[in-house]
C-alpha cells in the first residue's frame, strides 16, 4: 500500500475529514487532498506532521512491511468493487482495528440499505409491469 493510501485510510479510520487534517497541518484542503490522491509527494517533515495529527509515530505511518498489519476488506456488491488494504498500526493495533471494523460495519450498513432500496424499486417495477398486462 502506498503512503498516500495509508494516510487516507488512517484518516478515515480515525474519523477525521480532510478539512480537519488540513487545518491541523495548516494547509489548504486541496493541498492535503493532493497528498491523499498521490498527486503530491510530501516531504519527510510533512509526513511527521501528518503522523502527529493522527497521534501516531512516523514509523507507523510509513512502514510498508507486512509486519504488524491489519487486514481491511471493503466490498460493494452493487458496483462489484472490492478493496483489500493492509495498514501498519504498531502499538495502536487494537484501537485502530476497532475503528476500522466500525468503519467497515458502517459501510456494510449503507450497502444493505442501498440493496434494500434496489429490491423495493425492482418489486415496484415488477408490480407495475404485472398491472399493465
What pLDDT is attached to residue 102?
A: 78
CATH number, residue 47: 1.10.260.40
Kindly state the cell numbers that stand for 64: 510498508
Work out how many domains the chain is built from and give that number: 1
Give residue 37's domain range. 3-132
Does the pLDDT of residue 71 top 50, yes or no? no
What is the pLDDT averaged over residues 23-41? 93
pLDDT, tens digit, 9 for 90 and up, residues 19-30: 999 999 999 999
**Reported confidence tier of residue 44, pLDDT bands at 50, 70, 90:** confident
73 backbone dihedrals φ, ψ, rounded to 5°? -120, 125
Does the pLDDT of residue 91 top 70, yes or no? no
Q: What's the rounded Cα separation, in Å, for the pair 133 and 125?
A: 13
Amino acid at each position: 500500500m502506498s503512503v498516500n493510501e495509508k494516510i487516507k485510510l488512517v484518516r478515515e479510520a480515525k474519523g477525521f475529514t480532510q478539512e480537519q487534517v488540513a487545518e491541523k497541518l495548516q494547509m489548504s484542503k486541496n493541498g492535503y487532498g493532493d497528498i491523499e490522491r498521490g498527486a503530491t509527494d510530501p516531504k519527510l517533515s510533512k509526513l511527521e506532521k501528518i503522523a502527529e495529527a493522527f497521534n501516531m509515530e512516523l514509523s507507523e505511518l510509513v512502514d510498508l512491511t507486512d509486519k504488524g498489519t491489519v487486514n481491511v476488506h471493503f466490498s460493494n456488491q452493487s458496483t462489484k468493487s472490492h478493496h483489500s488494504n493492509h495498514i501498519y498500526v504498531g502499538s495502536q493495533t487494537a484501537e485502530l482495528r476497532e475503528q476500522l471494523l466500525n468503519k467497515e460495519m458502517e459501510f456494510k450498513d449503507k450497502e444493505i440499505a442501498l440493496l434494500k432500496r434496489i429490491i423495493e424499486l425492482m418489486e415496484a417495477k415488477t408490480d407495475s409491469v404485472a398491472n399493465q398486462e
